[in-house]
Structure 1
């Protein structure tokens, strides 16, 4: 089954130029210079059917931060988290639902082909996610497997990526077990993040419900996961760890804790696949009163700064990173200009940041001072229903809005 393909008007194309040009690096290295515009896929929490138009496509001006609407893509039901392969040929999205094609207790994972001229999406296939409420998807660093975290089911799964970009059924999965944390939201296991280390030797699953980071020995070629005997890291009771990100040097990692609004700096032992805490800092401004939950965390491409999002304070916290020790120092808090900032992302050159405000239905852009790490609003934004995720792609075709 294929969804209809949506197209948009294009400027004149350079002969033979496609989205795959110059893309031999990681999936975050898009090969664009400072002056090159980008395409932006925005995943949302909209859509109740497989045919729903729920992924929004924009063009981002890297000079002004303006977001130019291009089209609405057939992303299916609730495509809240996205990822793109290294060659920019395929996009993968979770459907954050509790049922899939009549099957209970599982969401879905969709594979799409990206048109090399228009960036429109065509559905290739869909697979169950092996757990309810999938909220995170990544590819291993060889691009051979999709790794999915199922928040509702408290499970993680590996789905092999086939040569044509389609997904095979899950080849491995794991159910996270109690004991649970003491917070009211830790009613059962809640897998929230699943990604590999820089060497592609280990995969790590962050679980909000059990306050643990689970480690798995990764065999990408055989599509296997072997659980470690002990967790790779245990967070503070009630912290509710949500997202993990590695520093570019591979020696450090940073854990965003949702329930106590903090970020933990970690040293990483690549031989054993384990983490040791360096320090934990609050992501909130001093004197904040009210409810808040942490959401996303990213390290700047040059490894000098760390950014986190606060839902409640509705801010981005900016930290400097001591690249020798991995420790953090708070620089500033900046308003997200909306409500409930979910995901945000830095452009591959680190010059711009886009933040998706889920409950106010808008996406705002910021200039990044690469010397200080500070953020300055561009004054540009886009209205998008329940935006959840921001994914960049090079705009080599020169896409134009209507």
Structure 2
């Protein structure tokens, strides 16, 4: 595993961050969370960093924002559960950049890591709830590229409990099918789920694994068949026409997959074996081209970002069956143009943000805790750098993160 300190551009960013103005403890009490929105429209990636107002959820861009990442096309990011470290994957340069999060929410560059074993074009990552491992989806296995297309893989990194640094685990790499796009690790029961867009697998592109909590190794669940993507089909569970994201409820009881080409969300129950079982009333209609979904920290509501409809669809989750019903007051709410990612801050669990790829904005919405309905946050949408690709919110350290128990 090759790793290095950040390059000159990113180092300059770190220096400027260190010189930035701090925020008093008193003022931080009025900042409930920090929001990070990577943008891919420049020659080097940028991360827009915001403070989220406790009172109304409005965004205030930090003085040092945007932060240059030093690499091209940042497409996804994940954070440790304590909010101390943020990791960003860059598709075009096959890099992972690690940041430390300051007490004021500013990002401080730590390390840069190459993809494991010449895997290329990482598109998604997820850190385990115990902050022990990071799983990265790569578009191509070694030997394949955009010029000679082929299957992808899942690579594994161990996370240091001391400084958040990563150590590659190349022997644990799992080869899967074509075009993996989304990954989630279970809060409980130690399962991992991936969706890919492999046409050879038909409509069975949801894959499931058990995760060894000591080593990070993945073992396919019953019903998940792995191949190399060329001579042997990689296949799993029914996932619609073109699955675009996968998300799990906070109690690890239900799993949901968005299907971008059928404009629907598919639901599953998860028993003790972890094998997804379709919910009887599934699927449910969404807006046009849902690319991403999120669930509020209490596990009551699910939301989809509908790229083609410039909207967010809202659903209530039946706590017994996992079935979805439209929100009582708002089944669809207009946001900016081309939302392709949606996130909810984990402190109050009531402010939602979408990264709007086509109009270079972030939309802010407030959740009604009684019915899941959405209203626009004051001054929304908020400006970002060109082509915002995703969004991640972490709690300000002075505010507790919501947790639920199974």
- Normalising by the smaller structure, the TM-score range is 0.7 to 0.9
Query: Hey, what does 2:184 align to over in structure 1?
Result: 195
Query: Hey, what does 1:144 align to over in structure 2?
Result: 132
For 1:128 and 1:36, locate their aligned partners in 2 and report how far apart those are by CA, in whole Å.
35
Query: Hey, what does 1:133 align to over in structure 2?
Result: 121
Query: Hey, what does 2:231 align to over in structure 1?
Result: none
Query: Hey, what does 2:155 align to over in structure 1?
Result: 157
Instruction: Out of 74-83 and 356-365, give the one that drifted further.
Output: 74-83
**Cα drift, residue 165 of structure 1:** 1.6
Number of matched pairs: 351
Q: Do the aligned partners of 1:319 and 1:330 also contact (CA within 8 Å) in 2? A: yes
Instruction: Out of 351-360 and 72-81, give the one that drifted further.
Output: 72-81
**Cα drift, residue 199 of structure 1:** 2.3
Q: Do the aligned partners of 1:351 and 1:369 also contact (CA within 8 Å) in 2? A: yes
Specify which structure has the bigger relative contact order, considering alpha-carbon pairs within 8 angstroms and separated by 6 or more residues.
1
Is there any run of 5+ residues in structure 1 with no aligned partner, and where?
18-31, 101-106, 178-188, 286-291
**Structure 2 length-normalised TM:** 0.79
For 1:87 and 1:255, locate their aligned partners in 2 and report how far apart those are by CA, in whole Å.
27
What secondary structure does 1:65 align onto? coil
Query: Hey, what does 1:257 align to over in structure 2?
Result: 259
> In structure 2, do the counterparts of structure 1 residues 359 and 122 end up closer, same or farther at CA, with 3 Å as the change threshold?
same
For 1:151 and 1:293, locate their aligned partners in 2 and report how far apart those are by CA, in whole Å.
21
Q: Do the aligned partners of 1:85 and 1:91 also contact (CA within 8 Å) in 2? A: yes
**Cα drift, residue 229 of structure 1:** 5.3
Query: Hey, what does 1:80 align to over in structure 2?
Result: 75
Query: Hey, what does 1:266 align to over in structure 2?
Result: 268
**Structure 1 length-normalised TM:** 0.80
For 1:283 and 1:134, locate their aligned partners in 2 and report how far apart those are by CA, in whole Å.
30
For 2:349 and 2:369, locate their aligned partners in 1 and report how far apart those are by CA, in whole Å.
7
Query: Hey, what does 1:168 align to over in structure 2?
Result: 167
The correspondence of residues 2-401 of structure 1 with structure 2, limited to 5 A, is 2=6, 3-4=11-12, 5=14, 6-7=16-17, 8-13=20-25, 36-48=31-43, 52=44, 54-70=46-62, 71-75=65-69, 76-97=71-92, 100=93, 107-117=94-104, 119-128=106-115, 131-151=119-139, 153-162=151-160, 163-171=162-170, 172-177=172-177, 189-209=178-198, 210=201, 211-228=204-221, 230-231=223-224, 233-236=236-239, 239-270=241-272, 272-278=273-279, 279-284=281-286, 292-331=288-327, 332-348=330-346, 349-378=348-377, 379-384=379-384, 385-396=386-397
Query: Hey, what does 1:182 align to over in structure 2?
Result: none
Residues 351-397 of structure 1 show CA distances to partners (whole Å, capped at 9, x for unaligned) of 21111111111001111111111101124222112112222233458
For 1:363 and 1:118, locate their aligned partners in 2 and report how far apart those are by CA, in whole Å.
18
For 1:314 and 1:117, locate their aligned partners in 2 and report how far apart those are by CA, in whole Å.
32
> In structure 2, do the counterparts of structure 1 residues 394 and 197 end up closer, same or farther at CA, with 3 Å as the change threshold?
closer
**Cα drift, residue 326 of structure 1:** 1.0
